[in-house]
Structures are given as structure tokens and as C-alpha cells.
Amino acid sequence: MSSEWDYFIRAQRGDELAWRVLIGQHQTRLTALALFITGSATAAEDVVQETFLRAISAKIKSYTGTVNGYLGTIAYRLALKEVKREKRNVGFDGLTLTDREYTQLDSLLLDERDHVVSEAINSLDEMHRAVLLLRFYGGCSYEEIAELLQIAIGTVKSRLFHAVKSCREILQEKGISR
Amino acid sequence: MNHLSEDQVLEYVLEIIDNDSERELMAAHFRLCPDCGAKFENIKSDLDIIGGVKPYRRLMQMPNPKARQISLYAVIKVAALFIFGIFVGFATANWIDREPAVVTYAYLTLTPPSGSQAGCAVSDATEVSPVYYEEILKSQE
């Protein structure tokens, strides 16, 4: 079992310091993941809070994966559930944002560069965006993404490659990338 | 090793190329070739940007795991005590002494049968306490 799981287990047992380390390490990226999927700050906050609540009370059978991937998977599923619950204009993969939601997401990004990145990510289609978000913000491994999306690992890698390439092109157009 | 294309470098950075020996060769090439090394650094930088969106977030009040565990523990304890109490109640209901059965006059012989030794014959099936025996005698007076 790795040291990151040590922190996690100690947090589950009530160690406040370990708990704060866990939150510090994962809250921001999970918030970004939930925001990209739900497009709503309130919903994202709920998703992240519920993610941590479920994580600390879960009885984990195996510590083979990463804490990143474990939390990312929970957050992703909760975010999709939230989207379905709110009956937004999304497909099952859950990542098509309406203009209204996009504006709200945009308003929460403080950095101008982040605006460009979110524009690039939102320009992707659902399949490619899901893989990119799970890899970069969910912290999931290729195997975890494949299992979550029920696709082959090769397909995951291929989609991620094209998603990143597409985002890089937009960043270069906007002068963010060299 | 020849120069690597952007796509090849991207595959390396994304760990799509997962063959260890191939990765070692590429890593060594990045160290030796300035052009490919620059491509590698640029792509790494882009990935940091793509994966580095930091939305503004309110400082959330996360549940204190210790408090949550304590309160859950308390609820479980109270529930267990309640259920235990019910079981104890049912189990001990039979331990309470019943009121002794009062032997009716028909079963209690106060006068000795003729031709036999004097004595009180009491039904074997029922034991009569002395208190109730006295009361029966008084009621018959």
C-alpha cells in the first residue's frame, strides 16, 4: 500500500491533519472536474462535498489503484448523476454544456489563461472531453478510465491523444502555448 | 535515433508509449537532442496548462471525520442498547414470580379420610403457600 493511501486511511480514522492534507491535495482538481461536467458552481460544490463524504465512510476492499483515481471516479459519477438529475441538455456521457452553464463556469475562472483552456476543453466532443477530464482532473489511470467508460484501453489512449492535440492547437492559436 | 515528431513526443509524454526500453531510448534522446528536448518541454508545459485550471472555490466546511465517527458511534450504541433492552425485557418477563395458584376447596382435603391417618392431602400438582392456606381456612369459617 502506498503512502498516499496511508494519508487516506488516517483521514478515514479521524486524523484531522491527514484529512486536511487530503482536501488540500484533491479539492481543487475535483472542483474543476465537477465544474466542467455540471457547469454549475453550486452543483460542483455539492459533488465535491459528497465525494469526500462517501470516500471517508467507504470500506475500501483493495488499495491497488490511486487515491486520485478513486476520488476522481466517485466525483465523475456523482457529477453525471447531478447532471441527469437537473435534466440539463446532456447525453449519458454527460459533458455537453449549454451556453448558460458555460457562462457560469467561465465566471469562476480567475485566470485569463484558464478561460482559454476551458474554451478549448469545451470545444471537444463528449467522448474526447470525458477522457481528457478523467485523465487530467479525475487523476484516473488508463485502466480506470477504460473501466469507467466501458471502452478499450487503446481507445482511451487514442481519444486522449486527439483531445490533447486539439487543445494544444487552440492554445497555440490563442498564443497561450509556444 | 532520428528526430522525433511532435506526435511521437506527445505519445511519450502521455505515456501512450509504455514500452520501457522504448521510453528509455526516447528519454536519452531528449537529453542529447536540443530540438527534441525542446519539443518535450513544450508539450509538458502545455499539458500542465491543460490540466491546471483552478476554479475559484469557496472554502468548504468539510465534515470533521472524527465528529462524524463519534456521532455515528453514539447512534449505534443507543440503537444497540435499545434493542438489547427489548430482548432483555422479553427474556425476563418469564422470570417474574407468578402468583401462587390457589388450590380450590375441591382439591384440598381438610378432614382425614375415615379409617386413615389424619393429615391434609394436597394435590401434588399444585403447591399452596401457607399464607393462602390460612386464608382459605378463614373463608370457610
Q: Does A9 touch chain B (CB under 8 A)?
A: no
CB contact under 8 A, A117 and B50: yes
List the single residue in B with minimal CA-CA distance to A105.
B55
CB contact under 8 A, A14 and B47: no
Burial (Cβ within 10 Å: 0-12, 13-18, ≥19) of residue A89 = exposed
Residues in B touching A114 (Cβ below 8 Å): 52-55
Chain Cα centroid distance, residue B16: 44
Global model pTM greater than 0.90: no
CB contact under 8 A, B50 and A53: no
pLDDT at A86: 76
Angle at A135 between CA B17 and CA A8, to 5 degrees: 115
Which residues, at least 6 apart from A100, have a Cβ–Cβ distance to it below 8 Å?
Answer: A39
C-alpha cell at B128: 399452596
In a mutational test of the B interface, the residue from A26, A37, A38, A135 whose CB has the highest number of chain B CBs within 10 Å is A135
DSSP tag of B94? G
Per-residue pLDDT of chain A (178 residues; tens, 9 = 90+): 567 788 888 888 888 888 888 888 899 999 999 999 998 888 898 999 999 999 888 887 777 788 999 999 999 999 999 988 876 554 444 444 444 444 555 566 667 788 889 889 999 999 999 999 999 999 999 999 999 999 999 999 999 999 999 999 999 998 887 5
CB contact under 8 A, A178 and B68: no
Q: Please list the residues that pair with B121 across neighbouring strands.
A: B109
* Start-to-end Cα distance in chain B: 127
Taking alpha carbons only, the member of B44, B56, B5, B55 closest to residue B26 is B5
